[in-house]
Amino acid sequence: MKAVMYFLAICTMSVCTISCSDDDPVQMADGINSDEQLIEINYINQAWGNWFTSHFILSNGNHFYFQDNSDTTNPIPEDWNLTDDDGLISINKLSDNILKADSLVQLIDVGLLEDLEDLSFSLKEDNSDPEYLCDDAGVVTVYVYVWDSDKEKFKRKLVKQCGDWAMNNNHKDARKILDLMSTLPIATNFGCCIE
């Protein structure tokens, strides 16, 4: 009987080890590669205390979520890596932001993301000036990131910003990106940006 129990224990551990391997797509973020296409949706609000959330959607369909409202002086967490003035960020710094995710929300159909990838690369920055619209709504910002092989960094491109301060990317592909994103399950998290 002990031999049977021992055998079952080994089988159970083997199944758990195999199902939790590095190839499992439902694992937490472990960094990114330069061939990744990324979408980031941020929400910042300071109306009733600081509130910061970030959604990352990777090209493999993983949708990661990060939330922090612990900093009372700045809505963006102190250890959050920002892009430089040209919208560039190193692969390590962007990976570090993704690794801060506290949950894998869902898997998104990769087929829906393939068209977004082509549009992300062709998207040009034709951004309007920020326009003040209201108070206390916060700001939702939708970005895409593409690899800049010349600079060996990711380039962040604004798709749209809405809320207290609005800013549009007037390039034709920005609207196409938003239309495609409106079909994703996450669309309710950036509703004002898909109008």
Position 12 in a domain:
no
b/e sequence 17-27, b meaning 16+ C-beta within 10 Å: eeeeeeeeeee
**Does a structural domain hold residue 10?**
no
Q: How far apart are CA 121 and CA 35, in angstroms?
A: 12
pLDDT for 19 beyond 90 = no
Task: Give SS3 for 80.
Answer: coil
Q: Is residue 165 a part of any domain in this protein?
A: yes
Task: Count how many domains the chain has.
Answer: 1
Give tens-digit pLDDT for 61-109: 888 999 887 776 788 888 899 999 999 999 999 999 999 988 888 888 8
Does residue 149 sit within a domain? yes
d(CA 104, CA 56): 10
Which pLDDT score is estimated for 31?
A: 63
Residue 143: inside a domain: yes
Distance, in Å, from the CA atom of 67 to the CA atom of 102, rounded to the nearest integer, reads 8
Q: Where are the alpha helices (DSSP H) in the chain?
A: 2-19, 91-99, 110-122, 172-181
Contact between 136 and 110 under an 8 Å Cβ cutoff? The reply is no
SS3 187: helix
Residue 13 lies in a domain: no
For the ranges 24-33, 146-155, 158-167, 185-194, the lowest mean pLDDT is seen at: 24-33
- The confidence score (pLDDT) of residue 189 equals 65
pLDDT above 60 (res 132): yes
The helix/strand/coil state of 96 is helix
Average pLDDT over residues 27-37: 65
Handedness of CA 67, 73, 75, 79 (dihedral sign): negative
pLDDT at position 17: 30
Q: Under DSSP, is residue 167 helix (H, G, I), strand (E, B) or coil?
A: strand
* Stronger pLDDT, 16 or 167, i.e. the higher one: 167
Does residue 117 register a pLDDT over 70? Answer: yes
Domain extent, residue 124, equals: 35-194
Angle (nearest 5°) at CA 9 between 3 and 10: 90
Residue 191 phi, psi dihedral angles, 5° rounding:
-50, -45
In a domain, 15, yes or no: no
Establish if 136 belongs to a structural domain: yes
